[in-house]
Amino acid sequence: MNLYTAKKPKTEPANGAPKAGPDEPLYAARKKIFPKRAEGRFRRFKWLVMLITLGIYYLTPWIRWDRGPFAPDQAVLVDLANRRFYFFFIEIWPQEFFFVAGLLVMAGFGLFLLTSAVGRAWCGYACPQTVWVDLFLVVERFIEGDRNARMKLDAGPWTFDKVYKRVTKHAIWLLIAIATGGAWIFYFADAPSLAFDFLTGHAAFVAYSTVALLTATTYVLGGLMREQVCIYMCPWPRIQGAMLDDNSLVVTYNDWRGEPRGKHQKKVAADSNAAGDCVDCNACVAVCPMGIDIRDGQQLECITCALCIDACDSVMDKLERPRGLIAYATLNEYESNMALATDNGRIGIEPVRVRKADGAFSDSVRHFNWRIILRPRTLLYMGVWTAVGIGLVVALLSRDRLEVNVLHDRNPQYVLESDGSIRNGYTIRLLNMIPERRTVLLSMMGLAGAEMKIPALTDASDRVFAIPVEPDKVTTLKVFVTLPKGAVGDAREGFSFIAEDRASSEKDVYRANFNTPGAK
């Protein structure tokens, strides 16, 4: 059996009725889902993840970070107008965008690593769709009550109470959606002043349209479509299939100990018939936000939120049976235990085969072993992830905050002066990438005898100029380089422009060429 090969549903008629043929509609109507509130360690973990992720999302733009008078004081800011990206002590210019690309590569490999080790953990805990649906469900439960109350309300007539509850619910959902879209724009402008402008109607049109768009997507995807997004719209579950293998942890119903299930297991056990642990209480089905029955085996709908584990564990606790009837398990373990319970598939599941006489599990039953997480596949992902991370840190620590770019005049390529000397023109850009004023020394290396002239600064000629540069800005200068007649050679000559800041001992070199009439 392969992962995601769902077992045949129990409801299929066994009498050889015609299989699903062309008459079966291809469109499946949506089934309404009313997830019950779950309690347990995974639910607690999910609350924590929700608190942290939502906290990061909503609060980050409001963190202040002092960068002096020439740069914004917002800790995380994507300044599109000025083409700067600020992240705490890091400032990124557009040409350094590879840092962001590197972070995305790391995020990708991190996700690969997580998925191959613990399955669809992203889907179950951290995906914004999951987090916001969880949040919306909290509101729904608060207004309309838990599963049974909601089912009753939904089936009931449109009384005043129902209208009131529905309107309240959707109003709160919309408020959350507006807050979600609203928080997004604060990453792109100074948050406090944008908030003031936004509320007083003075913000840019794009701010309002962005909030409107994200409000709509949050409300529709998180409130109305919910599990449909995961099942039909999201490409990630399809990609994840490539990362999972027989050693990945997935939420598994251990039918080798659960079957045969029955509502009256005590009686069955008393009759000395083999009875499984599953009491068919349907608690796992009631809590499932995807509306599936995990006991049908692996299904593409399962986002491994593990709420069914919590639900089942609490039932097992009440029945004083060991937890883990539904548990995180690898396919390898599961199949080994199934083979044990069914004598390699020759017979139906017999609980006695996996138990000792005292009811404890037999020693042959395989349990999860943490060492499985360390295998070539995960080590490879971990290695790539670490390598990219180290590369980024090294690049970040060794990057220069001073750069010189040179554009050589092409028309004219050179100018003959009246004394026979040759002049070339260059447009020089000095990039001062720190929010402080400083003086940059622009000098030449090579091209003996030649001198620079910068008309914007002074009429004098020299080989070194001290150029004041503005904080966090590009300074553009026209520079003329003149080579005396006696020094003009036959070929194009190479030389270097050197920009350096003696105070910070930063230095950037640009290798330029000098055109002469002899150069072909």
Partner 1 sequence: MADKHIDDVSGVETTGHEWDGIRELNNPLPRWWLWTFYACIVWALGYMVVYPAVPMLTGATKGLLGYSSRAELAGEMAGAKTAQGAIVEKISASSLPEILADPQMAQFATAAGAAAFKVNCVQCHGSGATGGAGYPNLNDDDWLWGGKAEDIHQTIAHGIRYADDAESRVSEMPAFADILKPEEIREVSAYVVSLTGTPRNPAMVEPGKALFADNCASCHGEDAKGNREFGAPNLADAIWLKVKGEDQIAAQVRQPKHGVMPAWQARLGDATVKELAVYIHSLGGGE
Interface contacts to partner 1, rule CB under 8 A: 22-23, 411-412, 415-420, 423, 425, 455, 478, 480, 485
How far apart are the C-alpha atoms of 128 and 152, rounded to whole Å? 29
- In whole angstroms, how close is the CB of 133 to partner 1 at the nearest point? 30
Return the number of the residue (391 or 420) whose C-beta is nearest partner 1: 420
Instruction: Report CA torsion sign: 283, 289, 293, 297.
Output: negative
237's enclosing H/E stretch is: helix 236-240
Return the number of the residue (3 or 416) whose C-beta is nearest partner 1: 416
257's enclosing H/E stretch is: helix 255-258
- In whole angstroms, how close is the CB of 411 to partner 1 at the nearest point? 3
Return the number of the residue (22 or 376) whose C-beta is nearest partner 1: 22
Report how far Cα 331 is from the mean position of its chain's Cα atoms. 27
- In whole angstroms, how close is the CB of 413 to partner 1 at the nearest point? 8
- In whole angstroms, how close is the CB of 235 to partner 1 at the nearest point? 28
- In whole angstroms, how close is the CB of 312 to partner 1 at the nearest point? 42
Return the number of the residue (343 or 417) whose C-beta is nearest partner 1: 417
Q: Enter the tokens of residue 81.
A: 């107008």
Report DSSP state, residue 8: P
Per residue, what are the HEC states of 454-518? Answer: CCCCCCCEECEEEEEECCCEEEEEEEEEEECHHHCCCCCEEEEEEEEECCCCEEEEEEEEECCCC
Return the number of the residue (366 or 408) whose C-beta is nearest partner 1: 408
Return the number of the residue (29 or 503) whose C-beta is nearest partner 1: 29
Q: Enter the tokens of residue 95.
A: 């040409």
Q: Enter the tokens of residue 135.
A: 């949040």
Q: Which amino acid is at 3?
A: L
- In whole angstroms, how close is the CB of 476 to partner 1 at the nearest point? 11
Return the number of the residue (192 or 420) whose C-beta is nearest partner 1: 420
How far apart are the C-alpha atoms of 468 and 465, rounded to whole Å? 10
CB 154 within 8 A of CB 34: yes
- In whole angstroms, how close is the CB of 420 to partner 1 at the nearest point? 4
Return the number of the residue (294 or 454) whose C-beta is nearest partner 1: 454
Listed in order, strand segments (DSSP E) in 263-334 are: 326-330
Return the number of the residue (291 or 484) whose C-beta is nearest partner 1: 484
Which residues are 512's β-sheet partners? 495
- In whole angstroms, how close is the CB of 463 to partner 1 at the nearest point? 18
Go through 1-20 and write b for each residue having 16 or more CB atoms within 10 A of its CB, e for each that does not: eeeeeeeeeeeeeeeeeeee
Return the number of the residue (284 or 422) whose C-beta is nearest partner 1: 422
Three-class DSSP category at 289: coil
Instruction: Report CA torsion sign: 172, 178, 184, 186.
Output: negative
**Residues whose CB is less than 8 angstroms from the CB of residue 194 and which lie 6 or more positions away in sequence, other chains included:** 185, 186, 203, 207
Report how far Cα 231 is from the mean position of its chain's Cα atoms. 19
Return the number of the residue (276 or 425) whose C-beta is nearest partner 1: 425
- In whole angstroms, how close is the CB of 94 to partner 1 at the nearest point? 24
Determine whether 232 is exposed, middle or buried from the number of CB atoms within 10 Å of its CB (0-12, 13-18, 19+).
Answer: exposed
- In whole angstroms, how close is the CB of 453 to partner 1 at the nearest point? 8
- In whole angstroms, how close is the CB of 88 to partner 1 at the nearest point? 36
